[in-house]
Structure 1
């Protein structure tokens, strides 16, 4: 297993997440509308867009924590080991999600 390849993928994803978080933070800012010039439907739409951006921001922060934890495991030499049984995480799982922490068997047990 090429750990450096996974490190590069994780670092790239970390940078992409940071950019996406910046955009989501701007989109989830407080909605300020002049009620005299903006209709009710526009206000509702703006509030819905804000709520969607806030949900996205929560998901991005969650993914950011997972990627950072995976990079910590890379640096400590434990990347690719299951956090439950300490066996090897299948390369297919790591290719699908480089931040995977469980092998297929342990992941199935947790679901």
Structure 2
């Protein structure tokens, strides 16, 4: 892959990594432990708070997984393996990388 295209992909990946880190800071409030205090929070309010907490935790897990994918793609760039399928070694289609620069598999391997 030519260097200018790879540098563009690197910038996109790093920008997305920064977005995910910023989202993690904002999501910390939603993951706080919900207190069981019947005087200040009613049963339905507590259920709503628990649901919000579960959604915040799920979002955090998704951000973490995406950060791992991005870091793996950046590592492949450093190793000179970016743009090649990690399973079969074939080149990943340009359109696939344009859509998702962190893609590690060609479309054939991704389909299984």
Normalised by the length of structure 1, the TM-score is: 0.92
Which runs of no fewer than 5 residues in structure 2 stay unpaired?
A: none
Q: Is 1:76 paired with 2:79?
A: yes
Q: Report the aligned-residue RMSD.
A: 1.2
1:14-66 CA-to-partner distances (Å, cap 9, x unmatched) read 00011111222221111125321221111110010001001111111011100
Match of residue 41 from structure 1: 44
The total of aligned residue pairs comes to: 109
4+ residue stretches of structure 1 with deviation over 4 A? none
Provide the residue aligned with 1:100 in structure 2: 103
Counterpart Cα distance in 1 of 2:51 and 2:79: 42
Normalised to the residue count of structure 2, the TM-score between the two structures is 0.91
